[in-house]
Structure 1
Amino acid sequence: MQAAVFDLDGVVTDTAKFHFQAWSKLAKEEFNLDLPASFETNLKGISRTESLEAILKFGDLLDKYSKEEVQNLANKKNDYYVEAISKLTKEDILPGITKLLTDLKANGVKLAVASASKNAPFILEKLGLAHVFDAVADPAKVNAGKPAPDIFLAGAKAVGVAPNQCVGVEDAIAGVSAIKAADMVAVAVGDKDELRQADCVVPTTRNFTYQLFSDVFDRYHK
């Protein structure tokens, strides 16, 4: 294992609640739509534009907005979201992650972020982790979002490591699919049945350790 390529939301920190709050606010203000709590799952691991399209489809409004209008609305949602995440601190790093990152670096493992969020650098800055990661893949520069492998391949390339020498870390089905499509070993956090495509699934980030990552990688490459 020469590199670990991390998703951000749900893996390093939990900003999903802020995303959904921002989408809910936009849906109510612009479309008079009340999004059910269960709808949050539909927006997990996909891009901003795809999320808005899913909301418009939910409200049977998809054909009523031009591409330019969709982009403007997506930007408005992002303003709400950025306002919320500006309050993030290192206290918002998920349990076990700080030690995991420290131990990976101590063992010479390169660290990259492969997130669909264009706000990843800003979030890492707020968490005090910007200096810890060696690279952040830019989602604006990849052809396709998850479950396509592009963002994880970009993360590996950014740290100069072959994909098959990387462990990818995720919490979403689309993300795990992207990791496997990139020919990486997949370690996931969340529901074991839902994320069964991963090579290893743990219930919480507290279970993440350097030894776990190393063992899963070695087992996969036997």
Structure 2
Amino acid sequence: MKGAILSLNHIILDTDGLQFQAWCDLAMYEFGMGLPGKMANQLAGVQRHQALDLILKHFNVTNIDNKVELLNEQYEMYSKVIAGIGEDRLYPRAKQLLNNFYDHYVNIAINDIDEHAKEILQKLKIDDFVDAFVSPLDEENPYLEASQELDVQPAACVGIGSQTNEIKLMNETGVISIGVGDAEELKKAKYQVSQIGDLKYPMIRKVWEDNELEGA
């Protein structure tokens, strides 16, 4: 195992929560009121344009021609939310896992879904652990790009993610997939845990070795 490709959301910290805060700020600015907490689950993990549509529907807004402007506003508000975060946002054991990879000479890439990963990791003071950043907005398969950036074969990498589409892309690339979250949703992962705190380096190593033997 020479590479690890990680997502941020539910692996390093809760970016869904940060995004929701920015959406609430946008709603307050544009419509004079925030969003109900129950909408957090609806907006979690969806594309920003889809989230905006859900918010407009919530406020019964049907005819609107400035969606791009609203998305840009939310992007700026998200940047402001990130500017205010600190190390307390880091999931317990996430830094230890990064340390474990570092100590075993496993290079780390981040699948930068919302294009703020560098800034977020700097705020969490863990950016020094990361060797590469890739964006799914720029690449058809960020896991293939990440393995190339790390200069290792996909089969020599593990991927850790919390979304079904992430697991799918890992499997298509040959990266050993590890899912964090709902067991049913992530059932196609090679290995799955309910939360990042349950994921230990020795087990990750064993999962990779077992799959390497199967592919031999």
Same fold (TM over 0.5): yes
Deviation at 1:15, TM superposition (A): 2.5
Specify whether residues 91 and 37 from structure 1 end up closer, same or farther in structure 2 by C-alpha distance, changes over 3 A only.
closer
Of 57, 72, 75, the match for 2:72:
75
Of 128, 135, 140, the match for 1:138:
135
Do 1:9 and 1:16's aligned partners in 2 also have CA atoms closer than 8 Å? yes
Equivalent pairs, count: 213
Q: Flag the structure with larger Rg.
A: 2
Distance in 1 of aligned mates of 2:71 and 2:120: 18
2:206 aligned partner, one-letter code = D
Deviation at 1:207, TM superposition (A): 1.5
Deviation at 1:99, TM superposition (A): 1.3
Specify whether residues 32 and 139 from structure 1 end up closer, same or farther in structure 2 by C-alpha distance, changes over 3 A only.
farther
Deviation at 1:41, TM superposition (A): 3.6
1:189 aligned partner, one-letter code = V
SS at match of 1:131: helix
What TM-score results when the alignment is normalised by the length of structure 1? 0.83
RMSD: 2.4
1:76 aligned partner, one-letter code = E
Distance in 2 of aligned mates of 1:6 and 1:32: 37
Residue 110 (1) aligns with residue 107 (2): yes
Query: What are the within-5 Å matches in structure 2 for residues 19-168 of structure 1?
Result: 19-27=19-27, 29-30=29-30, 35=35, 37-56=37-56, 64-66=63-65, 69-143=66-140, 150-168=141-159
2:151 aligned partner, one-letter code = G
The residue aligned with 2:15 is: 15
The residue aligned with 1:204 is: 195
2:187 aligned partner, one-letter code = R
What percentage of aligned pairs have identical amino acids? 25
SS at match of 1:72: helix
Specify whether residues 172 and 140 from structure 1 end up closer, same or farther in structure 2 by C-alpha distance, changes over 3 A only.
closer
Specify whether residues 180 and 37 from structure 1 end up closer, same or farther in structure 2 by C-alpha distance, changes over 3 A only.
farther
Residue 183 (1) aligns with residue 174 (2): yes
Distance in 1 of aligned mates of 2:19 and 2:172: 26
Distance in 1 of aligned mates of 2:52 and 2:174: 30
Do 1:187 and 1:198's aligned partners in 2 also have CA atoms closer than 8 Å? yes
Distance in 2 of aligned mates of 1:43 and 1:162: 35
Encode CA deviations 1:11-40: one digit per residue, 9 max, x unaligned. Answer: 111222121122233245436787554443
My pick for the range that moved more, 133-142 or 31-40, is: 31-40
Encode CA deviations 1:104-143: one digit per residue, 9 max, x unaligned. Answer: 1211211000021111111011011111100111344224
Do 2:167 and 2:177's aligned partners in 1 also have CA atoms closer than 8 Å? yes
What TM-score results when the alignment is normalised by the length of structure 2? 0.85
My pick for the range that moved more, 98-107 or 33-42, is: 33-42
